[in-house]
Structure 1
Amino acid sequence: MHHTSSAWPIGIGALFLRATLYLLITGAIAQGAYLEAAYLPDLRFSELAFTELTQTGFLTLACGILLYVRQRLNVWPNVTLLLLAFLGASLVREQDAFLDAYVAEHAWKVLVAAIILPSMTRVAMNWRRFAVELGQYANSFSLGLFTAGFFTTYAFSRLYGRKEVWQAVMQERYLGSIKSMAEEVVELMGYALILFAMIELLLLARRIYRARLQATSSS
């Protein structure tokens, strides 16, 4: 079987349906941020409000999808391990305030190291196989979405949410809550793109899995 995108075709109708779903989720994010700002003044953009909880939810779903793809479908196990380690570490990082308060200060750093180091060691030990898998994944819509989400969350949101930017915009009317809102909502949109990428990865992995079964049954 050829490892190209044409070997695992996607229907136009399915693509349109998913695009519509992603659009609806994007609209829900914007509406949720508005409702949080308008009706939750005491919790606005805190760890217990819509934006932060949705970030955690998106990361949890993305990790669950990766576990399914890796363990059940057995598609690109090294690539999915690296993605799972990265998103798992991000999920732990999002809980830093709770871990610092209820476990120990900097506990999240220990957990992140415990996730990242063994995973990267495993991938390094299987470097050749990882390179092959990455070459196949590189031609997918999923990787494009993941890259967009990565830069949105881990680069743009940080730069856009700098205090200096919002002080320059608002001048003497500067409010820290506005700065936090801008950063957290952009970050949430980045996590949404990453979740979309993992959904696309799941659907692609299912097509690859079915193609493998058909190839096995016909041989």
Structure 2
Amino acid sequence: MSEHFNYIFMKLINFIFILILMTLPIIAVRYDVLTLHNNIPEQSLTEWTEEMFLAITAGSFLFIGFTDTKHHHGFILISAFFFCMLIRELDSFFDNAVFHGFWVYPAIITAITALYYSTQKRENTLNTLYLFVKDKNFPILCIGLAIIFVFSRLFGMDVFWHQVMGSDFQRIVKNIAEETTELLGYTIIIYAAVNYVFSFNNKKSII
């Protein structure tokens, strides 16, 4: 009886944590728009939060890769995917530091290097990817990616907001809608990634 109660209690705590976590996109966007009075530019709390979440996500899978040699190659590949996303988010930094569109080159180098490295032990990589997609956190991760790659892009299309607001079109409204949903996606991704680290370590300790 007490075991069931503890399980339910922990799930309720987790639910409350999720509720709090879901406020982060709103807090970041509200701070940018209402406190800093900006148009959510590349250098904003919202963008910095997205980049930080991506860095933690990539680092989480990199951590597993370096602490478990059995699944090293596979998690290096997974980590590289999110590092490529991070490089893309840092496009403004690379534009100012080097030249416009430079982000493509470090992203390609990262992707090719990780793909080449992962093929050195194909069975290791395949087994890791199998465990990765089999984990309960994988669908949550996919939802976050879908929000970033599909929902936020479609929801933030200029043509849609021009049709909605007509002559009263204000870019800040469009930016708020797009950046809030995009940060929501990154929030879901970091939740899934951190949970995956704990889940993976628990399975290791059992084994």
TM-score class, shorter-chain normalisation, is: 0.7 to 0.9
CA distance in 1, matches of 2:32, 2:192: 26
Match in the other structure for 1:72: 67
CA distance in 1, matches of 2:13, 2:35: 32
For residue 130 of structure 1, give the secondary structure of its aligned residue in structure 2: helix
**TM-score relative to the length of structure 1:** 0.83
1:203 and 2:198 matched: yes
| One-letter identity of the residue aligned with 2:108 | A
Gaps of 5+ in 1: 1-10, 213-219
Aligned length: 201
Gaps of 5+ in 2: 1-6
Match in the other structure for 1:161: 156
Aligned-pair identity in percent equals 21
Q: Give the drift of 1:75.
A: 6.3
CA distance in 2, matches of 1:19, 1:75: 33
Residues 121-140 of structure 1 aligned to structure 2 (within 5 Å): 121-140=116-135
Which one is further off, 188-197 or 61-70? Answer: 61-70
Q: Give the drift of 1:153.
A: 0.4
CA contact (8 A) 1:75 1:209 kept: no
For residue 22 of structure 2, give the secondary structure of its aligned residue in structure 1: helix
CA distance in 1, matches of 2:152, 2:125: 30
Match in the other structure for 1:91: 86
Q: Give the drift of 1:72.
A: 1.8
| One-letter identity of the residue aligned with 2:18 | Y
For residue 100 of structure 2, give the secondary structure of its aligned residue in structure 1: coil
Q: Give RMSD over aligned pairs.
A: 1.9
Q: Deviations over 1:56-91 (max 9, x none)?
A: 111111122112111124463344222211110111
Residue number among 24, 27, 34 corresponding to 1:31 in the alignment: 27
**TM-score relative to the length of structure 2:** 0.88
Q: Give the drift of 1:163.
A: 0.4
1:187 and 2:182 matched: yes
